[in-house]
């Protein structure tokens, strides 16, 4: 009996979850019979109504006794002819139809033509995801709203965030015959925050788990990445009315310390410095030049770095605003160029003997835009080269954190050298890629998303993406079990102990680098 999964889901009003089903290898109606209610959350089926509908559907499929065992390989694309959840797709649009193209995205699936222009494909989040904080590395994206200036300029918003894990960039293109079309690039991350998300919400789902890890004595690093003006400072620093991650983290740290450690109080210290063109400058000490040195135990120390004890959120904000002022004026006197340096804020917990009892870094990375976008002079090219090198090295180091490689290229850049400690042991890392919605920023936004996607792909190389494309021998049921095992393992062991490839399907062939 031939029944399409999409048709089945549509019959019970669950077609919007189709992509999620195929992403975990459930590509045929027959596969539904293997589902249990424990699998529902992984498939995004959470509300009672959806659960009931899926339950009824599964029972019906079981009754019909579809040929589960004999079904073909679990290829998403083979199960439902004509319906592909292409990661990049293109559509012809006449100018005025553009909005429709955005709105009927899901319904239009059957008409879409998969076409990736040789770009790397993004894969849906692995279903082993619990909350980002439960993972050792999480990669999130935050879209900011159009600014007033952009609105006045008549810029259009080219980003849509159809779900909490998906962002689509609608790139306007022109074919050789001058036909206008929209090329849609779809990316999946651990979390995608739309423009309506507040700093508090972003904090709760990104840095909060890291803060908890730090309070338990661990090490954590939170990166803000993105082109200049994309919202890194808004996310990290925020404003007095909308405090950013720094202040929210310290708020929780003090709240925690006030209720625990009564007898042996922990003290909070901060240091703040920047890396500009490969050199370190102390932002709390008049931009004094600093040097990173490795001791006999290969631990990197930043010699002469000033740290300041803070005892409240307001004292932290005071320290940070002093540092930020120095950073901005010290480099260029104009804000956009401040994004040519990496700013690193370190928060340390120390006991009465000055022993470190927890450490967290907030890193506001240099703008990911190409230096040539703004200026062509030698200095800009040098800055750009240094930034590129450090961002590449960072990617490599995150990769080694995830895969426990024997060699980690810490020394390839100052950034990774000083953060070395954060890439080994029981560290947790979160990257927030900030993106601008305006159409003029399309290219930079795409680059930001591709970079973040590569970081995510590195972390997910043993992930379940193969299940979606049919390059696996796992049954859907096995796939879900693998996901559950991975989650459990991830929760109880450092990533280094995981032999991910033993557990998971191989990545698909067509996930190529751009």
Ligand X SMILES: Nc1ncnc2c1ncn2[C@@H]1O[C@H](COP(=O)(O)OP(=O)(O)OP(=O)(O)O)[C@@H](O)[C@H]1O
Contact residues toward ligand X (CB under 6 A) are 144-145, 147, 226, 228-234, 335-336, 338-339, 367, 434
Cβ nearer to ligand X, comparing 194 with 470: 194
What is the smallest separation between the CB atom of 194 and ligand X, expressed in angstroms? 9
Q: Alpha helices, DSSP H only, in 136-263?
A: 148-152, 199-205, 207-215, 232-236, 245-259
Q: Return the structure tokens found at 112.
A: 């879409």
Cβ nearer to ligand X, comparing 41 with 336: 336
Q: State the distance between the two ends of the chain, measured CA to CA, in whole angstroms.
A: 41
What is the smallest separation between the CB atom of 98 and ligand X, expressed in angstroms? 24
Cβ nearer to ligand X, comparing 369 with 402: 369
Cβ nearer to ligand X, comparing 23 with 338: 338
The owner of tokens 């649009």 is 93
The owner of tokens 């901060």 is 270
- Does 232 count as an annotated binding residue? yes
Q: Decide if 104 contacts 89 (C-beta within 8 A).
A: no
- Does 79 count as an annotated binding residue? no
Distances (CA, A) of 482 to 81, 399, 457, 490: 27, 22, 18, 12
- Does 229 count as an annotated binding residue? yes
What is the smallest separation between the CB atom of 368 and ligand X, expressed in angstroms? 9
Helices first, then strands: H and E counts in the chain? 18, 16
Cβ nearer to ligand X, comparing 199 with 408: 199
What is the smallest separation between the CB atom of 231 and ligand X, expressed in angstroms? 3
Q: Which residues pair with 433 in a beta bridge?
A: 141, 225
Strand 88-92 and strand 113-114: pairing? antiparallel
- Does 231 count as an annotated binding residue? yes
Torsion angle of C-alpha atoms 445, 447, 453, 455, degrees rounded to 10: -120
What is the smallest separation between the CB atom of 169 and ligand X, expressed in angstroms? 17
Q: Decide if 445 contacts 228 (C-beta within 8 A).
A: no
What is the smallest separation between the CB atom of 274 and ligand X, expressed in angstroms? 12
Distances (CA, A) of 387 to 288, 326, 383, 412, 441: 21, 20, 6, 12, 19
Cβ nearer to ligand X, comparing 277 with 484: 277
Q: Positive or negative CA dihedral for 190, 134, 411, 237?
A: positive
What is the smallest separation between the CB atom of 269 and ligand X, expressed in angstroms? 25
Cβ nearer to ligand X, comparing 137 with 141: 141
* DSSP secondary structure code for residue 117 in this structure: T
> Whole-angstrom Cα distance, residue 345 to residue 422?
13
Q: Which residues are annotated as a binding site?
A: 226-233
Q: Which residues are annotated as a binding site for ATP?
A: 226-233
């Amino acid at each position: 009996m031939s029944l399409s999964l999409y048709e089945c889901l549509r019959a019970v009003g669950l077609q919007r979850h189709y992509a999620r089903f195929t992403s975990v290898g459930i590509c045929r109606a027959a596969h539904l019979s293997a589902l249990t209610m424990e699998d529902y959350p992984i498939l995004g089926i959470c509300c009672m109504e959806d659960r009931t509908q899926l339950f009824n559907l599964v029972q019906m499929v079981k009754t019909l006794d579809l040929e589960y065992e004999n079904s073909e390989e679990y290829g998403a694309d083979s199960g439902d002819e004509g319906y592909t959840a292409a990661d990049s797709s293109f559509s012809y649009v006449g100018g005025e139809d553009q909005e429709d193209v955005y709105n009927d995205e899901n319904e239009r699936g059957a008409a879409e033509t998969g076409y990736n222009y040789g770009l790397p494909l993004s894969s849906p989040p692995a279903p082993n995801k619990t909350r980002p904080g439960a993972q050792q590395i999480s990669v999130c994206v935050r879209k900011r709203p159009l600014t007033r200036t952009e609105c006045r300029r008549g810029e259009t918003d080219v980003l849509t965030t159809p779900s909490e894990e998906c962002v689509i960039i609608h790139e306007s293109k022109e074919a050789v015959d001058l036909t206008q079309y929209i090329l849609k690039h779809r990316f999946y991350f651990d979390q995608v925050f739309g423009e309506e998300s507040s700093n508090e919400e972003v904090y709760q789902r990104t840095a909060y788990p890291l803060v908890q890890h730090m309070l338990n004595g661990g090490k954590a690093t939170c990166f803000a990445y993105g082109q200049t003006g994309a919202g890194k400072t808004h996310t990290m620093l925020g404003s007095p009315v909308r405090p950013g991650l720094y202040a929210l983290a310290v708020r929780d740290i003090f709240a925690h310390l006030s209720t625990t450690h009564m007898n042996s109080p922990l003290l909070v210290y901060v240091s703040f410095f920047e890396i500009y063109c490969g050199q370190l400058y102390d932002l709390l000490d008049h931009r004094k030049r600093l040097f990173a040195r490795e001791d006999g135990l290969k631990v990197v120390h930043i010699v002469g770095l000033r740290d300041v004890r803070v005892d409240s959120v307001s004292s932290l904000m005071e320290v940070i605003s002093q540092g930020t002022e120095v950073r901005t004026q010290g480099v260029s006197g104009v804000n956009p160029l401040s994004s040519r340096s990496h700013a690193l804020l370190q928060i340390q917990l120390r006991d009465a003997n000055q022993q470190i009892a927890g450490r967290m870094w907030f890193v506001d990375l240099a703008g990911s835009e190409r230096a040539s976008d703004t200026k062509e002079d030698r200095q800009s090219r040098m800055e750009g080269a240094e930034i590129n090198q450090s961002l590449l090295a960072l990617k490599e180091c995150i990769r080694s954190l995830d895969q426990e490689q024997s060699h980690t290229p810490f020394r390839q850049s100052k950034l990774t050298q000083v953060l070395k400690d954060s890439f080994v042991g029981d560290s947790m890392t979160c990257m927030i890629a900030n993106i601008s919605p305006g159409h003029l920023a399309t290219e930079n936004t795409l680059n930001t998303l591709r970079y973040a996607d590569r970081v995510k792909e590195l972390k997910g190389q043993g992930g379940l993406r193969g299940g979606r494309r049919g390059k696996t021998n796992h049954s859907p049921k096995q796939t879900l079990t693998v996901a559950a095992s991975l989650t459990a393992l991830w929760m109880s062991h450092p990533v280094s102990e995981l032999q991910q490839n033993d557990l998971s399907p191989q990545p698909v062939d067509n996930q190529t680098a751009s």
